[in-house]
Amino acid sequence: MPVDARQPVDEGSAVIRDLYKRDGRRVYAALVRLLGDFDRAEEATQIAFLAAASRWPAEGVPRKPVQWLISAGRFRMIDQMRRDRRMTQWSDEAERAVERLELQQDPETIEDDRLRLIFTCCHPSLSEEAAVAMTLREVCGLATEAIASAFLVAPPTLAQRIVRAKSKIRDACIPYEVPDTDELPRRLDRVLRVVYLAFTEGHSSSGGENLVQADLMAEAIRLGRLILKLLPEAEVQGLLALMILQHARHAARMSPGGDLIPLDEQDRGLWDHAAIAEGAEHARQALLSGRSGPYTLQAAIAASHAEAPRFEDTDWAEIAGLYAALLRIEPSPVIALNHAVAIAMRDGPETGLALIEPLLQADRLGRYHLAHAARADLLRRMGRTDAARQSYETARDLATQEAERRFITRRLAEIGP
């Protein structure tokens, strides 16, 4: 292990604890590449930090503590594998693996290892559910229990999902690498989709009592910042802008009692205006690149909402135009619904309703509670309260989130019997 110029440790445990929180997953990502095994890398990471806790208080913090930890984890794992040779059946392949480990160099660019780990966790051969769970667990370091709670599954079920994904990566010899230039665009789409799935589950939980899970949103944003730092592509910046802008408004989305507050009733003083400025700037830069994709256009829409001083000042013509552009490059019933709502806000509820009615005939939107809620809202604005009541009741029956159910019930009470 290389000897560095060292700094004294005044409070060794605090220094190591802070380093683990900030850089623990960087160390782990490097050890995954060096050891070629998720579980060994996790064990080696713990061993390395235990070694630091025993040595640094007396010796001081190394000049390059992250590299020290990676080197410590690797060499201690080599020692352990050598000891295993004396107690278990040892194959020629196992011997060659240890020899390769001894010859490998510790990484100079640790950030690249984190990018490799992200692409490995989001490999196309894994299911989307497994990719989300793997990314949050292995890259972000979230506890299995926290991820399971966010996605409304039992912790043992989620743990098994991660175990199966790791086995598939090992058995299929999935390479631990960033794909080459030809493959990168297709693989990057999967990575961004997985990150955004994690964010949207935090922003609007799929079920249960809590609509918003701020920790999950924050982890997805942290992952977005990391990917943009390592891979500065326009759509990466667009996704980061979108997540920052949506997160900036989350404090005003819920009442202290846990009730949903719609956009037109939110206290904009509770919005994080510094985050809005940052997100809007990221969106502007992504748009100026000339390579606008769906995340960038959604970020531009979010920026238009967030930068309006009052709801009445919202530029619905701009938003309708952005949704029209988004619909051209990513046609989907949900985007068509949002476009119809923007048209309704620009041209009146009758125009919007004429666009929504045929969409509700599609199987997907026919079971989508927000489509029926949007129809109900337009009917209410037109004074057609009986029809509005029917649509609100359908929306309430289809909603799976308790806060949304309570909001729709409140709307029903407002229009009366």
- The amino acid occupying position 367 is R
> What pLDDT, in 10s, does the model give residues 180-225?
777 777 788 889 988 888 888 777 765 555 555 677 788 889 889 9
- The number of beta carbons lying within 10 Å of the beta carbon of residue 23 is 15
Find the angle CA(147)-CA(151)-CA(156) to the nearest 5 degrees.
60
Angle between helices 65-87 and 92-103 (to 10 degrees): 160
Angle between helices 155-171 and 38-59 (to 10 degrees): 100
Confidence of residue 410 (pLDDT cuts 50, 70, 90): very high
d(CA 162, CA 127) in angstroms, rounded, equals: 11
> What pLDDT, in 10s, does the model give residues 310-355?
999 999 999 999 999 999 999 989 999 999 999 999 999 999 999 9
How high is the mean pLDDT of the chain?
Answer: 85
The pLDDT value given to residue 377: 96
More confident position, 2 or 239? 239
Identify the weakest region by mean pLDDT among 141-150, 232-241, 348-357: 141-150
User: In the predicted model, is pLDDT for residue 174 greater than 90?
Assistant: no
**DSSP state for residue 61 in the 8-state scheme:** B
How large is the average pLDDT for residues 285-294?
Answer: 90
> What pLDDT, in 10s, does the model give residues 71-103?
888 888 878 777 766 545 444 544 555 455 444
**Local structure of 289: helix, strand or coil:** coil
Give residue limits of the domains in the chain.
Answer: 12-107, 109-210, 331-417
Share of the chain above pLDDT 90, in %: 43
How large is the average pLDDT for residues 373-380?
Answer: 96
**Local structure of 8: helix, strand or coil:** coil
d(CA 367, CA 358) in angstroms, rounded, equals: 14
Q: Work out the burial of residue 153: count CB atoms within 10 Å of its CB; fewer than 13 is exposed, 13-18 middle, 19 or more buried.
A: middle
**What is 331-417's CATH number?**
1.25.40.10
Torsions phi, psi for 415 (to 5 deg):
-85, -10
The pLDDT value given to residue 61: 86
Half-sphere exposure of 72 (CA within 13 A, CB side): 22
How large is the average pLDDT for residues 160-189?
Answer: 85
What fold, for 12-107? Rna Polymerase Sigma Factor; Chain: A (1.10.1740)
Confidence of residue 234 (pLDDT cuts 50, 70, 90): very high
How large is the average pLDDT for residues 226-252?
Answer: 93
The pLDDT value given to residue 111: 62
d(CA 356, CA 376) in angstroms, rounded, equals: 11
- Return the top range by mean pLDDT from 8-17, 99-108, 148-157, 208-217: 148-157
